[in-house]
């Protein structure tokens, strides 16, 4: 990746933002933003996504560091669990004499 | 007045109602003003609060111009946030200043002319390019930080309450300005050229921020203890901080003469008139308007 701003028309890289609303909760994806580097990304996230008291902690992740599943391959990717109840242990009878199960 | 969003009422169905009747609850907003609700400023304290309030108000108005015009949307929001913080300081300070003469914060903001404004010249300097705005932000934020951190020890309880809240907010303004200083100064040849020019252009307006006068002397000698943060005492911490960031940016301090200044006595550069005209036109054209 070239230096942000080196080319006049080059936009800043994209970052994905995760905010934790309270202690004990997980960070939740809230959106994305542009920023020239990590320090500015965390500050921009603070300004854009937590200006009305939304959170106590922020993560920013370069969007290009996230690998996503292919939306077009959704059927093949997520179909297999359906109709395969044998994958769930609760469909098996417990053998007699097994305790603490 | 009560807060009403007519569009939310199921009985009034039209889309127009969504935007037709939104009133700001002045009573609710008043609760956000800092300091004792019934505190009344003396004439001297009011004059001091007016200076601080005008500094914040003028800079807030300037920064608002950037919304939709900054390099990226994210920076629009950052500068808008800073402007709103400053507007909050201005509200509390002008409200307090108005208690001495029975004027409201809006009355002071919208119904005074240039010679009645007490802001320093730094704040009315034009936005210029982004580098000029960042240079002005650096000087302004470091000044506010030194000012409010000392004002927390004021003998005046309303000023200490305002300062205690403001100091946390301006710490972020300092950080924002410093981050941009580093990136502009150490970025491309063009960004370094622009921030170098901007620092030299804004440098002359630093000195006025550190000048004591008779009002400050009287407030310093108040029987209940020092009320003002003495401007001359802010010079060292502010200039040390400026030197620190310039050094990190590998920039030299400019050797340019100081500007005359005179904002504290109501003498202003020609920039303030245009700024006030834009800020005040709506309130003056439609007195008492609410939205």
Residue B184: list chain A partners with CB under 8 A: none
Nearest Cα of chain A lies from the Cα of B16 at a distance, in angstroms, of: 27
**Interchain proximity A44–B183, CB inside 8 Å:** no
Residue B85 lies in a domain: yes
pLDDT value for B44: 96
Contact across the interface for B78 and A44, Cβ inside 8 Å:
yes
pTM, full prediction: 0.83
Q: Check residue B27 and give its pLDDT.
A: 60
Contact B92, B35 (CB under 8 A): yes
Asked whether residue B231 is domain-assigned, the answer is yes
Report yes or no on B15 lying in a domain: no
Distance (Å, rounded) from C-alpha B222 to C-alpha B59? 30
Residue B61 resides in a domain: yes
A47·B191 Cβ contact <8 A: no
What is the pLDDT confidence band of residue A101, given thresholds at 50, 70 and 90? Answer: low
Domain presence at residue B17: no
CA B187, A34, A25: angle at the middle one, nearest 5?
125
Encoded tokens for B279 = 């800020």
Residue A18: beta bridge partners? A29, A59
Domain residues for the domain of B145 are: 41-285
pLDDT number for residue B19: 45
Chain A residues with CB under 8 Å of B78 CB are 43-44, 47
In the predicted model, residues of chain B with pLDDT beneath 50 are 1-22
Please give the ipTM for the structure prediction: 0.70
Here the tokens at position A54 are 């939304």
Q: Is residue B23 part of a domain?
A: no
Is B19 inside a domain boundary?
no
Alpha carbons B40 and B108: distance in angstroms, whole number: 16
Quote the pLDDT of residue B5: 39
pLDDT classification of A6: cutoffs 50, 70, 90: low
Angle at A74 between CA A68 and CA A77, to 5 degrees: 85
pLDDT at B24: 55
The tokens for B289 are 């308007």
Domain membership of residue B73 (yes or no) is yes
| Interface test mutation site (partner B, options A35, A38, A40, A52, max chain B beta carbons within 10 A) | A40
Structurally, how many domains does chain B consist of? Answer: 1
Residues of B in contact with A11 (CB under 8 A): 72
The CA-based dihedral angle spanning residues A81, A86, A91, A93, taken in that order and rounded to the nearest 10 degrees:
-160
Instruction: With beta carbons less than 8 A apart as the criterion, state whether A20 and A50 touch.
Output: no
Are B81 and A39 an interchain contact pair (Cβ–Cβ within 8 Å)? Answer: no
- Positions of E strands within chain A: 14-20, 28-34, 57-62
What secondary structure does DSSP assign to B181-200, as a single string?
A: HHHHHSS-HHHHHHHHHHHH
The CATH number covering residue B266 comes to: 1.20.1260.10
Q: Which among B77, B187, B191 is the nearest to A47, CB-wise?
A: B77
Mean pLDDT (chain A) is 82
Q: Minimal Cα–Cα distance from A24 to chain B, Å?
A: 26
């Amino acid at each position: 990746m070239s230096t942000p701003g080196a080319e006049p028309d080059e936009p800043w890289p994209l970052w994905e933002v995760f905010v934790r609303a309270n202690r004990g909760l997980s960070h939740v994806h809230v959106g994305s933003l542009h920023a020239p580097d990590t320090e500015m990304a965390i500050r921009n996230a603070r300004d854009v996504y937590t200006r009305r008291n939304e959170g106590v902690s922020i993560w920013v992740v370069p969007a290009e560091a996230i690998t996503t599943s292919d939306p077009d391959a959704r059927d093949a990717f997520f179909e297999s669990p359906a109709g395969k109840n044998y994958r769930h242990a609760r469909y098996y009878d417990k053998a007699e004499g097994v305790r603490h199960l | 007045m009560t807060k009403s969003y007519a569009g939310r009422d199921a009985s009034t169905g039209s889309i127009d109602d969504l935007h037709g009747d939104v009133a700001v609850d002045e009573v609710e907003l008043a609760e956000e003003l800092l300091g004792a609700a019934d505190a009344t400023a003396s004439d001297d304290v009011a004059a001091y609060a007016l200076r601080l309030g005008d500094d914040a108000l003028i800079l807030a108005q300037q920064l608002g111009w950037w919304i939709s015009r900054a390099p990226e949307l994210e920076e629009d929001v950052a500068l808008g946030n800073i402007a709103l913080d400053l507007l909050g300081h201005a509200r509390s300070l002008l409200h307090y200043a108005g208690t001495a003469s029975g004027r409201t914060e809006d009355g002071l903001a919208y119904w005074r002319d240039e010679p009645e404004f007490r802001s320093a010249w730094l704040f009315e300097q034009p936005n210029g390019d982004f580098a000029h705005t960042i240079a002005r932000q650096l000087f302004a934020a470091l000044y506010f930080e030194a000012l409010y951190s000392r004002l927390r020890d004021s003998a005046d309880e309303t000023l200490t309450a305002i300062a205690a809240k403001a100091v946390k907010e301006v710490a972020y303004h300092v950080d924002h300005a410093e981050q941009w200083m580093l990136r502009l100064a150490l970025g491309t040849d063009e960004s370094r050229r622009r921030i170098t020019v901007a620092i030299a252009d804004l440098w002359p307006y630093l000195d006025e921020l550190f000048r004591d006068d008779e009002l400050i002397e009287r407030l310093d000698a108040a029987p209940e203890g020092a009320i003002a943060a003495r401007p001359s005492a802010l010079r060292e911490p502010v200039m040390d901080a400026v030197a620190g960031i310039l050094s990190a940016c590998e920039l030299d301090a400019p050797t340019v003469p100081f500007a005359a200044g005179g904002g504290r006595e109501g003498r202003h550069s020609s920039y303030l008139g245009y700024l006030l005209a834009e800020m005040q036109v709506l309130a003056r054209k439609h007195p008492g308007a609410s939205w």
